[in-house]
Amino acid sequence: MSRKHLALLALAGALSWDCARAADTAQPTAAPVGAPKNLLSDDATQAWKELVDATRPPLAPAEWNQKPPSEAEAAAFRRTMGEAAAAAADRAKEFQARFKAHKQAEQAQAIQREMLQAAVQLGIESRTAELKALGEGPAESAAPAPGPFEERMQAAVGKARKLQSQGMEAVMDDFEKSLREIRKEFPNRGEVFGAMMEIAELRGGPKAKELIDEIVAAETAPAEVKKYALSFKKKFDRIGKPVDLKFTAVDGRKVDLAELKGKVVLIDFWATWCGPCVAEVPNVVAAYEKLNPKGFEIVGISFDQDEQALTNFTKKKKMPWVQFFDGTGWDNKFGKEFGITGVPSMWLVDRQGNLRDLEARANLSEKVEKLLAEK
C-alpha cells in the first residue's frame, strides 16, 4: 500500500474517527501480563501488513444504520476507536525500532504520528506528550499545496461532518453522495474507490454490500482496493449459509461446527497481541458465563504465533472454549479461507448452523439471546 493511498484512506476514515460525538478521556488498553514483548511478527513483510491492517478504524455497529447510537454507545465506540489508534501507533513505533533498514521505516514514522493524532483527538490525552515529542513531520513542514482532487475530498469530509447531529446514517449518505460526484469529475482517480471501501466498512449491512459490488465491478478501481473488496464480498455472500469449520483445538478437543446445530455459536477471530481483542475479552467471557447454559458456545480462531502465550492467556482469563491455533499469524488457515483482514472479528451462527451476523461485537449478549429465542 502506497503512502499516498494510505493517506486518502485516512481522509475517508476521518469520518469514522469523528462520528461518535461524546467526549471521552479513556486510557489506552494496557498490554496483558505475560504477553509477548513484541506486538508485530518477526518477519518484516508480515509485520508491515500487520501494521497497515492496524491503521483501519474499528467498524461501527451495523445496528446504527437503522437506529442512531445513544450518547453512551457513541462514547463507548469513541473509546474503542481511540484505543485502536493508540495501538496502531505502538505498532508503528515498534516497526521503526525493529526494522530500521526497511524501506518503509520512514513511512511507519508518519503512520505513528497520524495514529497518535487520531488517538489524541479522540480523548486519549495520555498520548499527547508522545505526539508532541515527534515534532512536525517532513510531510507537514514541506507539504505541497493540495490540488483540485484533494480539495474536493477535504471539502466532502467537512460537509459530511456538519451533519453529525443528524446521526451516522446522514453522515454516510452525504459523504457517499459526494464521492460519486467526485468520481464523475475525476474518473481516473482510483483513490475514490479506497474511500468508498472505507464507507462500506463503516456501514455494514446491505448498503455495504451494494458498495462492494460496485467496487468489484468498476474497471478503474485500483487492484489492491478491488482485492480487499473481494475479500469482504466473500464474507457477505456467506450470510445465511452454513459455515464449514472443522479442526483439532490446541487442547486436543475435536471441533466440527456442523455437530453444534441446535446451539448459537460465536466464531471469534482474535489474538492475544491485539489490544482491541483483549479489551473485548471481559464482554465475551460475561456473555459465555450467562448464556452457555442456555445453548451458547464459542469457537476461538487464534492469530497468535506463540502457543504458550495463547494457552497462558486463556487460562488466566478463564476462557474455557476451544481455540484453533496453527502458529502462522496472518496466514492463519481459517483467516485466509474466510477473508479475515483484521481482528477482532466476531461472527454469529444460528441454531440451524447458518451464519447470521458478521459484526457481533456490539451488544453481543443481546444478539445471542435473540438467536437463542428462535426455533
Task: Note the pLDDT tens digit of each residue in 111-123.
Answer: 999 889 888 887 8
Better-scored residue on pLDDT, 132 or 80: 132
Output the CA–CA distances (angstroms, integers) from residue 107 to 92, 119, 150, 304, in the order listed.
Answer: 9, 18, 20, 26
Mean pLDDT of 70-97: 83
Which single residue is written with the C-alpha cell 503512502?
A: 3
Mean pLDDT of 26-47: 60
CA atoms within 13 A on the CB side of 65: 16
d(CA 307, CA 158): 46
* Cα dihedral across residues 5, 11, 12, 13: positive or negative: positive
**Which alpha helices (DSSP H) does 27-167 contain, by range?**
44-54, 71-98, 105-121, 128-134, 138-141, 148-161
Output the pLDDT for position 14: 44
Q: What is the pLDDT of residues 48-57, one digit of tens each?
A: 888 887 887 7
User: What residue ranges do the domains of the chain occupy?
Assistant: 3-141, 148-238, 246-373
Share of the chain above pLDDT 90, in %: 40
Highest mean pLDDT out of 36-40, 229-233, 323-327: 323-327
Output the pLDDT for position 15: 46
d(CA 223, CA 65): 29
Mean pLDDT of 5-28: 36
Which single residue is written with the C-alpha cell 452525504?
A: 174
* Domains 148-238 and 246-373 alike in fold: no
Going by C-alpha positions, the residue among 287, 253, 251, 254 that lies closest to residue 268 is 287
Mean pLDDT of 305-329: 95
Output the pLDDT for position 6: 38
Output the pLDDT for position 303: 94
What are the two backbone dihedrals, phi and then psi, of residue 47, each rounded to the nearest 5 degrees? -65, -40
Question: Domain 148-238 is of which CATH architecture?
Answer: Alpha Horseshoe (1.25)
Residues 89 and 112: beta-carbon distance below 8 Å: yes
> Would you place residue 65 in the very low, low, confident or very high pLDDT band (cuts 50, 70, 90)?
low
CATH of domain 246-373: 3.40.30.10
Better-scored residue on pLDDT, 364 or 198: 364
